[in-house]
Amino acid sequence: MALRDQLRVIVVDDMSTSRGLITNALDSFGVRNVDVAADGHGALQKIAANPVHLVISDYNMPGMDGLHLLHALRSNAPTRGVGFLLITGRADREIIEHGKKLGMNNFVKKPFEPAGLKAAIEAIVGPL
């Protein structure tokens, strides 16, 4: 069975358009086991109930931004090893450096091309 058939992913973004673009790209790669959340708190609840291999999260979200979500995941033993891909329109050096210190696995700058997203995901989980 191919990795893409087993991989469990959650896409976290407060904008439904962005969630749709990411989930459509994942679908085009053959990744079908995808859940979505509109914010970090919702993502944490969903992950607790249904663990995932990879979190693809927007940076700029109300309430809990992507790096706060990453910190929460890395601070919790069951989710410490989950892959984390940050998608941001603000790929400022300070955001990326802070993300790396927290244990971010990779990042993609918005707007992204599906091929770039796939490459970023494969750098974390291996070939799809």
- Token pair 């599906």 in the structure block, residue: 114
- Residue 74 falls inside a structural domain: yes
- pTM of the shown model: 0.96
Region of poorest pLDDT, from 2-11, 13-22, 52-61, 79-88 = 2-11
128 within some domain? no
User: Confidence band (pLDDT; 50, 70, 90) for 128?
Assistant: very high
In the predicted structure, residue 3 carries a pLDDT above the cut 90: no
The structural domain count of the chain equals: 1
Domain housing 90: 3-123
Residue 53 lies in a domain: yes
Say how far apart CA 99 and CA 60 lie, in whole Å. 13
SS3 call for 50: coil
Query: Tens digits of per-residue pLDDT, 38-82?
Result: 999 999 999 999 999 999 999 999 999 999 999 999 999 999 999
pLDDT tier for residue 125 given thresholds of 50, 70 and 90: very high
pLDDT in tens, 83-118: 999 999 887 899 999 999 999 999 999 999 999 999
Pairwise CA distance, residues 54 & 97, whole Å: 20
pLDDT at 21 over 80: yes
Within-domain flag for 16: yes
Q: What is the DSSP string of 51-92?
A: --SEEEEES--SSS-HHHHHHHHHTSGGGTT-EEEEEES---
- CATH code of 38's domain: 3.40.50.2300
Q: How far apart are CA 62 and CA 67, in angstroms?
A: 12
For residue 91, the model assigns a pLDDT of 75
CB count in 10 Å sphere of residue 92: 10
